[in-house]
Amino acid sequence: MGEQAVALAKKVGYFSAGTVEFLVSEADRSFYFLEMNTRLQVEHPITEAVSGTDLMQMMFAVADGEKLSLRQGDISPVGWAMESRVYAEDPRQGFVPFPGAVRAYREPRLGPDPDIPSSLRELHFDHAGVRVDSGIDEGGKVQLYYDPMVSKLICYGLDRETTRQKMLQALDSYVIHGVKNNLEFLRALMSEPAFIEGKTTTAFIPQTWKNGFHGAPKEKAAQRRAEALAVWMYARSAGDTGPISLRSGDVEVEAEMEAGNVIFLDGEQRQVVHIDKVQETICGGGVVTLVEAVVNQKLESFQV
């Protein structure tokens, strides 16, 4: 494919960064030309990460009449990279765009990865091997008239599974409030067995979610712990220990604070969730859920 891409560029006299796309047959690995884009693709940070090259800088250099400073033989791919396109859209409604104001925005911050080469820092990756190319900030707006992409989230690791796990952690620590987004869908996609095994095709999404995406299944105990932490956070900030009406997704529950713990009132059942244990579990387990708590007719949202 590389040889065919170079031959095509030479044939049309093209001298700049470009991307030639092919479709590959799963049966015999034969490939077929799809299209050529005379620009860098959205996914170019993946190539930059595994090759250690700054494609944007090289594109500008060639446009300025300079020659490339390296040849194909100088490039030896190392490691694995993945990119998630984070969008302001509603996956539960056919991925329709969701313009609006971004009330809260926090990009992922993971712990350092000792296997990350120092050269990646020059390519805008942090010490964890995570890079976020974003075009919005807290208080900004996703406009109706443009592509609703919020950011590109790129993760790098020494192998595919390490990178996948890192991407899940990054998605879990990404906070976007005010507009619906596809973070939950991206987490679900990367947790699917077919994706884990690397057996995805162009039909992966319609085959996996035949009736559309309606949310990822959550382990009940983990969701209840996250809900408890949200109740505690709200009650502490509001100074209120009275009954709290809580909504998480399509589920409504009643809870109250008692001796620093959260008491869930499931009919006649009283389930006590100890806050100290919840905090430890949340911090260590990466549980993320969006919870709306209503106290004294005031609505607040928490993503924990």
pLDDT in tens, 166-176: 999 898 888 88
| DSSP collapsed to 3 states, 218-274 | CCHHHHHHHHHHHHHHHHHHHCCCCCEEEEECCEEEEEEEECCEEEEEECCEEEEEC
For range 122-137, the mean pLDDT: 94
Confidence of residue 241 (pLDDT cuts 50, 70, 90): low
Q: Is the pLDDT of residue 231 over 70?
A: no
Between CA 91 and CA 180 the distance in angstroms is 9
Between CA 272 and CA 262 the distance in angstroms is 6
pLDDT for position 91: 94
Q: Is the pLDDT of residue 92 over 60?
A: yes
pLDDT for position 247: 57
Residues involved in catalysis: 35
Q: Can you give the pTM of this predicted structure? A: 0.74
For range 194-223, the mean pLDDT: 84
For range 221-236, the mean pLDDT: 60
Confidence of residue 251 (pLDDT cuts 50, 70, 90): low
**Better-scored residue on pLDDT, 249 or 28:** 28
pLDDT for position 270: 61
**Better-scored residue on pLDDT, 26 or 34:** 34
Distances (CA, A) of 29 to 26, 32, 35, 239: 6, 10, 18, 63
Angle between helices 275-285 and 220-238 (to 10 degrees): 120
**Better-scored residue on pLDDT, 171 or 153:** 153
Q: Give the residue from 68, 13, 58, 9 showing the smallest Cα distance to 33.
A: 9
For range 178-193, the mean pLDDT: 92
| 74 secondary structure, DSSP code | G
Between CA 194 and CA 199 the distance in angstroms is 5
Between CA 126 and CA 106 the distance in angstroms is 15
Q: Is the pLDDT of residue 1 over 80?
A: yes
For range 176-195, the mean pLDDT: 91
Q: Is the pLDDT of residue 51 over 50?
A: yes
For range 142-157, the mean pLDDT: 95
For range 6-10, the mean pLDDT: 93
| 15 secondary structure, DSSP code | -
Mean pLDDT of the chain: 81
pLDDT for position 41: 87
pLDDT for position 21: 93
CA quadruple 111, 115, 118, 120: dihedral sign? negative
